[in-house]
Amino acid sequence: MIIPAAIAVPFAAALGLVFGSFATVMAYRIPRRESPVSGRSKCPACGHTITASENIPVVSWLLQRGRCRHCKERISVRYPLTELATAILFVASVLRFGVSLEALVYAAFFWILVVLSSIDLEYKLLPNRVVYPAFVAGWMGLAAVALLDGAPERLVGAALGAAVFGGLLFVVGFIYPAGMGGGDVKLAFVLGTFLGYVGGVGVTLVGMFLSFLLGGVIGVVLILVAGGSRKSQLPFGPFLATGSVIGILAGVPLLSAYLGSF
């Protein structure tokens, strides 16, 4: 049965908002080594248990004007932004891959990237207990998609993508350890897998280029605006994630346009 976009897209958006809310929980609890699935969420400032009416994605934050209803402490805008970003990524996955198992696998992958980016922005950390399971589960999901679609050769592209992206960052980290964290290197193997599955080495290179371009440009802008220096620490995980997402969603047409210009 073919599900029309008029139904699939709103459903994906709503699901994205829910999982975006859960992503904020994961990003808060995982670095603290707390269970992300047990116990109700609480206000970090006063410990007030957040009720269901206070936990509606985006809506509750707007109605409460970005403050805890109990202690009036400000709630960071990153919470609704994380929820909105996840909703947009879920919709993008459906638009890119249709209503399919592939869309589900990539939506889950995008959700993991949201969690990791949120953690990296706040703690400058990409936890192994998220990255390693993402790599294993990612391969399992893509293998299921490849077998279902009768296209096992796409797994070769995924393997090449992982080797290229992960291998390059491993070399960079080995030559210049201060410029590339171990978490970034490990994440690159995951990113390369999903990029390579979409379009082999070519799309992987597009994702890599966009990642470094975004990191370089935004890094320079932040240094100029904030008055920092080139030694200022800037988490690279969110740029790797953003460049890779763009590569997955638009890498094939971008590569075709680039090659067609010669």
Give the span between the Cα atoms of 229 and 247, in whole angstroms. Answer: 30
For the entire predicted model, the pTM comes to: 0.93
Judged against a pLDDT cut of 80, whether residue 38 lies above it is answered with: no
- What confidence tier does 132 reach under pLDDT thresholds 50, 70, 90? very high
pLDDT at 55: 87
- What confidence tier does 191 reach under pLDDT thresholds 50, 70, 90? very high
Give the span between the Cα atoms of 236 and 229, in whole angstroms. Answer: 16
Judged against a pLDDT cut of 90, whether residue 71 lies above it is answered with: no
Torsion of CA 96, 102, 106, 109, to 10 degrees: 180
pLDDT at 229: 54
Judged against a pLDDT cut of 70, whether residue 1 lies above it is answered with: no
Share of the chain above pLDDT 90, in %: 68
Judged against a pLDDT cut of 90, whether residue 170 lies above it is answered with: yes
Range with lowest mean pLDDT among 67-71, 163-167, 182-186? 67-71
Tokens of 71: 């202690």
Judged against a pLDDT cut of 80, whether residue 74 lies above it is answered with: yes
- What confidence tier does 230 reach under pLDDT thresholds 50, 70, 90? low
